[in-house]
Amino acid sequence: MIRQLALLAVAAICFASAVKIETRTGDKDFAILQKTAYEMLWHVDQPEKVHSELYKIGTGFDVMANIDKFSKKEVVEEFWRYYKDGKMTPRGKVFAPFVGPEYREEARIVFNLFYYANDLKTFFNTAAWARTHLNEGVFTYCYYLAIFHRPDTREINLPAPHEIVPHYFFNHDVISEAHAIKMALNPHEDTGKPKTHLIYANYTRPYFGSSHQTKMTYFTEDVGLNNYYFYVKHEYPFFMEGDVHFKTTKAYRGQYFLYFLKQLVNRYYMELLSNGLAPLQHIDWEQPFTQGYSSALAYRNGIFFPQRKPWSTVPVEKYQYLQRLRELESRIADVANSGFVFTKSGEFQAIPDEEALNVFGNLLEGNIDSPNHAFYESVGLYARKVLGFSPEFHKKWAAIPSAMEHFLTTLRDPAAWQMFASHVDFYTRFQSFRGPYPHEQLEMKNVKIESVAIDKLTTYMDGFDSLISNCVRVHDHKDAESVVIKARQQRLNHKPYSLHLTITSDIKRDAVIRAFVGPKFDHFGNLVDFSDSYPYFYELDYWFVELNPGTNKIERKSIDAALTVEDRYSSDVEYKKILEGVESGQYVYNQRIYGFPRRLALPKGKPEGMEFRFFFIVNDVDPKTVTKVQTRLSGELTHDGRPFGYPLDRPVPVNPRHYDNMIIKDAPVYFKDDLNSSF
């Protein structure tokens, strides 16, 4: 079997690390494991018909009879009590962790059952049992979590979520057409090789006016971006304790939450500018919400996701959440403006500077490592309830969650981005309170960035096919194998480019370069000063270099950008490779498939060209602070020990041009809508 690696589950720092991308080769045993992991997720609503061998394992496995095969017997006993008492979400019902505490408790209990299985055989037997007996959503969510966090499964890759639950990614008309295609097929016809049926899938066209939703759906509904958000939220699930699951990286958890949100919001802001739209407005709970949301998604049972009309006021039944939300925002604002936190012991204490970002990030997210969860709770949880407009339910398991109450659909709702922006505003205020970095921390003596040149930056819409066969019901396993339905969408992409830097140094030394992208003009076309616009920059790349005495010519290709990944192969293609690996005894796979979509690294720009501002900084590398780790989202990662987003996470000098190791370069991005059109 493939050599097991000592993996450190460090924060998956989107965009901000140096990463080594490589393929690995697993033997036959590993290929069999990968095959089982894939098969476990196909047609989980019909376990008895698809991969029936797993159904036989599941029905024949006795969880309690195998309690000795779990490292913590108490988690098995807790699960079994919960299950026998009828507290589990029934099959066929909608599951969403944000709906209520009982759903989150269920997820914790099922995850623990998977996590504490002693070996892979026990884990997969338990998963097969859960696939057969538990709610489909509960099983899928906890299975992904377990694969991500078990030390012996972190090399196993899973199908992309949009292939497992297509109805969370593709509008109802697409899913309906897929069902129509399936109904027209003759289940008894043996055509030999499966035929691929292609559906051309447009993005949501709102039933009511909403400029942000109309113009931004290609971005907010991008399946790669929504998959990425799902993966990131699995890296640090809010109910997992750092002392138990993140011992080596507990000190990064909160900082990662802050950095990730800022990257996401600022990337969204650049897309707003590209489309001539105003920046996100702060939410005023006293006023109606300007942004409506007309989801065209429908659950498996045919019920549509809740909608919110533009200029809607908070429903009366949501007042209880709104009142609590206001209280929590006030408490968090006090922390951001003072640097003091109200601890669990009832003391009002200053946050130590070395722990500032982690403590504040945990507090803002409201995760289980918050310094005082009972007092600060989770503003995000209450905001999702208020903004999502999901109806209050009074019958158990009758919830109709909004898009904001699922990780897979959160980014589709423009109100979610307003919520994120308010979180980032707290972060910016907190960092402003801490003040700028000292001059000696920012500078790099005897090193100068002489010049920067950037290749022509061109973006375009590119056709991409997604496997959605999992959304239709099948007669049997053979029928499932013969049905291949794909949806084709246009997705934002960019042509390859390189960054060219000329750097002089007095001696040979190791250094790290960071590159950021931000606005040059606001949405009115006014030139903005860097000292005002720095909070809106996102980190484009980060890499290590060796500087030699004299002049150094450095080229950085976009394909090497840290933590970005190419689009994945469709699962039907990957599954064929897995089967070939089982036969040959060698399965070659990409170790890292979960990063930020590389094609979204640049903002769309405009046909005539739209100038953005690129900021570069080079710093020395201290061997004492350098860490090398490996994560699901980052692959093999080297980090220099500076805060995530440094130096733009804190107020910047009035003029970075006074620092030889910093430089600002303006470059236009051209959008060409006639390249590689697949429609």
| Statement to judge: residues 247 and 138 lie in one domain | no
Residue 346's CATH number: 1.10.1280.10
Does residue 465 belong to any structural domain of this protein?
Answer: no
What Å distances lie between residue 437 and 154, 161, 460, 650, 658, CA to CA? Answer: 37, 41, 38, 7, 15
What Å distances lie between residue 619 and 141, 445, 537, 639, CA to CA? Answer: 41, 9, 19, 13
Tally of domains within the chain: 3
Torsion angle of alpha carbons 359, 362, 367, 368, nearest 10°?
-10
Look up the pTM and report it: 0.93
Over 90: is that where the pLDDT of 464 sits? yes
Does residue 396 belong to any structural domain of this protein?
Answer: yes
The span from the CA of 454 to the CA of 190, in Å, is: 55
The span from the CA of 551 to the CA of 535, in Å, is: 32
The span from the CA of 204 to the CA of 526, in Å, is: 32
Q: What is the predicted pLDDT for the residue at 403?
A: 95
Does residue 205 belong to any structural domain of this protein?
Answer: no
Q: What is the predicted pLDDT for the residue at 450?
A: 97
Beta-strand relationship, 586-590 and 23-27: antiparallel
- Range 579-586 average pLDDT: 94
Q: What is the predicted pLDDT for the residue at 13?
A: 34
The span from the CA of 311 to the CA of 289, in Å, is: 5
Q: DSSP readout, 225-259?
A: HHHHHHHHHHHS-TTS-HHHH-TTTGGGHHHHHHH
Does residue 182 belong to any structural domain of this protein?
Answer: no
The span from the CA of 288 to the CA of 297, in Å, is: 24
Q: What is the predicted pLDDT for the residue at 213?
A: 63
Mean pLDDT of the chain: 90
* pLDDT category of residue 568 using cuts at 50, 70 and 90: confident
Which of 120-129, 454-463, 651-660 is the least confident region?
651-660
| Statement to judge: residues 422 and 447 lie in one domain | no
* pLDDT category of residue 189 using cuts at 50, 70 and 90: low
Over 90: is that where the pLDDT of 241 sits? no
Q: What is the predicted pLDDT for the residue at 422?
A: 95
Residue 107's CATH number: 1.20.1370.10
| Statement to judge: residues 83 and 101 lie in one domain | yes
Over 70: is that where the pLDDT of 304 sits? yes
Over 50: is that where the pLDDT of 4 sits? no
Over 60: is that where the pLDDT of 12 sits? no
Instruction: Give 165-186 pLDDT, tens digit per residue.
Output: 999 999 999 999 999 999 988 7
Burial label for 316, CB within 10 Å (0-12, 13-18, 19+), is: exposed
| Statement to judge: residues 226 and 313 lie in one domain | yes
| Statement to judge: residues 426 and 445 lie in one domain | no
| Statement to judge: residues 454 and 369 lie in one domain | no
Q: Which of 417, 434, 451 is the last residue of a domain?
A: 434
Q: Which amino acid is at 522?
A: D
Q: What is the predicted pLDDT for the residue at 628?
A: 76
Q: What is the predicted pLDDT for the residue at 23?
A: 80
- Range 462-467 average pLDDT: 94
Q: Which residue from 385, 178, 415, 407 is spatially nearest to 300, judged by alpha carbons? A: 178
% pLDDT > 90, the chain? 74
Over 90: is that where the pLDDT of 281 sits? no
Q: Which of 128, 156, 184 is the last residue of a domain?
A: 156
Q: What is the predicted pLDDT for the residue at 250?
A: 72
Q: What is the predicted pLDDT for the residue at 18?
A: 43
What Å distances lie between residue 533 and 266, 520, 526, CA to CA? Answer: 11, 8, 12
Over 50: is that where the pLDDT of 16 sits? no
Q: Which residue from 304, 305, 324 is spatially nearest to 314, judged by alpha carbons? A: 324
Range of the domain at 430: 211-434
Structure tokens at 28: 């036959």
Q: What is the predicted pLDDT for the residue at 676?
A: 55
Over 70: is that where the pLDDT of 34 sits? yes
Q: Which residue from 66, 30, 408, 7 is spatially nearest to 245, judged by alpha carbons? A: 7
Does residue 635 belong to any structural domain of this protein?
Answer: yes
| Statement to judge: residues 366 and 403 lie in one domain | yes
Residue ranges of E strands in 441-572: 447-454, 457-467, 483-494, 498-505, 509-519, 538-547, 550-557, 564-565
Q: Which residue from 434, 646, 422 is spatially nearest to 534, judged by alpha carbons? A: 646
Q: Which amino acid is at 230?
A: F
| Statement to judge: residues 538 and 576 lie in one domain | yes
Which of 7-21, 69-83, 302-316, 396-410 is the least confident region?
7-21
Q: What is the predicted pLDDT for the residue at 533?
A: 94
Q: What is the predicted pLDDT for the residue at 237?
A: 85
The span from the CA of 358 to the CA of 256, in Å, is: 8
| Statement to judge: residues 417 and 521 lie in one domain | no
Which of 26-35, 210-219, 457-466 is the least confident region?
210-219
Does residue 103 belong to any structural domain of this protein?
Answer: yes
Q: Which of 156, 177, 196 is the last residue of a domain?
A: 156
Per-state percent for the chain, helix, strand, coil, to nearest 5: 40, 20, 40
The vertex-399 CA angle with 137 and 164, nearest 5°, equals 25
The span from the CA of 67 to the CA of 51, in Å, is: 26
| Statement to judge: residues 562 and 647 lie in one domain | yes
Does residue 191 belong to any structural domain of this protein?
Answer: no
Q: Which residue would you say has higher pLDDT here, 282 or 662?
A: 662
The vertex-221 CA angle with 219 and 223, nearest 5°, equals 100
Instruction: Give 208-238 pLDDT, tens digit per residue.
Output: 545 556 789 999 999 999 999 999 998 888 8
- Range 476-499 average pLDDT: 94
| Statement to judge: residues 309 and 233 lie in one domain | yes
Cβ–Cβ under 8 Å, residues 207 and 296? no
Q: Which amino acid is at 634?
A: S
* pLDDT category of residue 22 using cuts at 50, 70 and 90: low
| Statement to judge: residues 356 and 449 lie in one domain | no
Q: What is the predicted pLDDT for the residue at 390?
A: 93
Phi, psi values for residue 533, rounded to 5°: -95, -10
Over 60: is that where the pLDDT of 677 sits? no
The span from the CA of 622 to the CA of 444, in Å, is: 12
The vertex-521 CA angle with 517 and 527, nearest 5°, equals 120
Over 80: is that where the pLDDT of 249 sits? no
Instruction: Give 589-613 pLDDT, tens digit per residue.
Output: 887 778 899 999 999 999 999 999 9
Instruction: Give 70-121 pLDDT, tens digit per residue.
Output: 999 999 999 999 999 999 999 999 999 899 899 999 999 999 999 999 999 9
Does residue 17 belong to any structural domain of this protein?
Answer: no
